[in-house]
Structure 1
Amino acid sequence: MRFIDLAFVGRPEDFDKRATAALSDGPDRIEDHSIVWRDCKEHLKAASHQKCFYCESKDIRSDGAVDHFRPKSIYPWSAFNFWNFRFACTFCNSLRKDKETKVTGGKGNQFPLFDDAPRATCAAEECHERPKLIDPCNAGDPLEIDFTSDGQAVPAYTDEGDERCERGKVSILAYHLNHTAFVEERRRHAIILEEKVQAASSAHESYAAGNPDAKTRLDEAISDLHRAIQPQATYSVFARRVLNWHRENPLIEAVLRTA
């Protein structure tokens, strides 16, 4: 998961005017004005380089959807609030069972809170809630998700007494981050990156030993590593994590420092 700053995301023309008019029509007619949030989809997609805000995948087989971080069925006053919109793929946004693991995941209309936090009854009370879901548009939240070398998403904080551990667990399931399709894609990325790390290291040693022909191979391998961790790359945060496991290698440290 990568932080997406909505402050830099464009909005459709007359969005505020249309959103205000739709909200004033009442909670029973929210779906009648779905065009208001649907018109924001391309702007949100552009902000994440066409990737799902939650899993960083690019699903070319699906158009994706605008997800309401706080579900509109529970928070009708935020149904047209641009700051509540997230671009999401089908796997993260909709409840479905993983055919391989039999685990059901997907956000749906979930918005769990910690027990000692009251649920908001109006927009002004939302700031007092303590959500269990990690928000990609809240700068500190993506830090609470980590990955293993085999592509599994795990809580970054492992102390069971730390609420960040609970948030990690709940969010990984709610966003279906360990759906078999995601895990396999991350695992494949890891294998490719490991090969690129080895290729870069080998070319670097050869070039340092005085072989000028190795410079081209070195540049190509470093370019591949750089591309993998750019914001527009699929699973770029996971890719950076893979490279971090090789940070003791001065070459990889330099790649991470200059990317």
Structure 2
Amino acid sequence: MIPEKLVKVAERAQNALEQMPIDQRVAFIKKKSHVWRAFKRHLRAMSYGKCWYSEAMGPQSPYDVDHFRPKSEAQRADNEKDDGYPWLAFDWDNFRYSAERSNRLSTDEETGQTFGKSSWFPLVPNSPIACWDNRCTKQEKPLLLDPTRKADVALIDVGSDGRMIPSKTCTQAGKERVKASVRFYGLDLPDILAARRQVMIDLGDEVDKLLLLIADAMEAERAGDPNLIEMHRKTITGWTLPNRPFTLAARARLIELGLPELLAGPEDQLAIAA
């Protein structure tokens, strides 16, 4: 829950911004960066410390409060940019808790390709473009997936090799959005790809242990140790809870192994929220 006092601070900054001449807006926004930074720990709590874009989690990974729609400049293409969305600089609905590797520009040392969202905010062809005098953001069609929209999250999945891929229900337009998001959020950079793959490997090992216990019990024509079997089941289900890193990868691995019944359900999620 966002404290009301933080919301009020943001509202006051917004009201001041609305009264400013155009040539003073960018400087004012930069001066007031403490406003959105104050939201960080509350945004972090919403995702159990995970980056909203990558699901990565780590105490040595710096995190930012990203503006999904860039506050001072929007890069639409390599040679195309505009003033972005300054009126959303203090709108906490526009904030996303993001690892630096997803939010800031960086270079893949293996390929030399640049990754990171930074001020990039491309739109699909022929999309309306919102501006200060016409704030039609609801009519815009962003190319990047928004982690706060269920419909967007449903477009992306994890392949058997750990790479991010379009989901089975993705249309061609959706596939283009997934491709752009993987690039700009750096979702398949070597370090994060290795971490995601490790989750899938470790989960597979736990599944092997469970199946071996069940097989041994069936071969001996006995019930086996129900407590031990249940412990392994709970451990496996735990990998798919929202407080674990790379939950989507864990879920994809279980489905691939033909064990969707071990996925965490609403009652499991309520247990960690209690």
* TM-score bin, normalised by smaller chain: 0.7 to 0.9
The 8 Å contact of residues 12 and 40 in structure 1, kept in 2 or not, is answered as no
CA–CA separation in structure 2 for the residues paired with 1:200 and 1:172: 34
Deviation at 1:177, TM superposition (A): 0.2
Corresponding residue number in structure 1 for 2:78: none
- Which of 9, 15, 27 pairs up with 1:18? 9
CA spacing shift, 1:215–1:157, aligned 2, 3 Å: closer
- Note closer, same or farther for the CA distance 1:176–1:229 as it changes in structure 2 (3 Å cut): same
CA deviations on 1:60-81 (whole Å, 9 max, x unpaired) are: 1134010000000110000000
Moved over 6 A (4+): none
Q: C-alpha distance in 2, partners of 1:91/1:36? A: 22
Corresponding residue for residue 185 of structure 2: 175
3-state SS of 2:96 partner: strand
Which sections of structure 2, spanning at least 5 residues, go unmatched?
73-83, 269-274
Structure 2: distance between partners of 1:233 and 1:197? 17
Q: Once the 2 structures are TM-superposed, how far is the Cα of residue 212 of structure 1 from its aligned partner?
A: 4.6
Q: CA deviation at 1:205?
A: 2.3
Q: Hey, what does 1:139 align to over in structure 2?
A: 150
Superimposed CA distance per residue, residues 70-97 of structure 1 (whole angstroms, 9 cap, x where no aligned partner): 0001100000001000000011011101
Name the CA distance, whole Å, in 2 between partners of 1:81 and 1:208.
58
Q: Show the 5 A alignment for 1:56-71.
A: 56-71=55-70
Report if aligned partners of 1:156, 1:168 keep a CA contact under 8 Å in 2.
no
AA paired with 2:210?
Answer: A
Q: Write the deviation string for residues 182-239 of structure 1: whole angstroms up to 9, x where unpaired.
A: 1101111111111111111111222344345543442232122111000100101110
Whole-Å Cα distance in 1 between the matches of residues 256 and 6 of structure 2? Answer: 44
Answer yes or no: is the 8 Å Cα contact 1:150–1:186 preserved in 2: no
Deviation at 1:124, TM superposition (A): 3.6
Structure 1 length as normaliser, TM-score?
A: 0.88
Mapped partners of 1:134, 1:95: distance in 2: 18
1:42 is matched with 41
Q: Which moved more, 1:144-153 or 1:89-98?
A: 144-153
Q: Does 1:76 align with 2:86?
A: yes
Change (3 A) 1:227 1:128: same
Give the 3-state SS of the residue equivalent to 2:165 in structure 1.
strand
Distance 2:155 2:143 in 1: 11
Q: Aligned-pair distance for 1:52?
A: 0.2
Number of paired residues? 245
- 1:192 and 2:202 matched: yes
Give the aligned residue type for 1:56: E
Check whether the contact 2:156–2:164 (CA below 8 A) recurs between aligned residues.
yes
TM-score after normalising by structure 2:
0.83
Q: 1:106–1:173: 8 Å Cα contact kept in structure 2?
A: yes
Q: Report if the CA contact (8 A) 1:41-1:66 is conserved.
A: yes
Of stretches 215-224 and 227-236 in structure 1, the one that deviates more from structure 2 is 215-224
In structure 1, the residue matched to 2:172 is 162
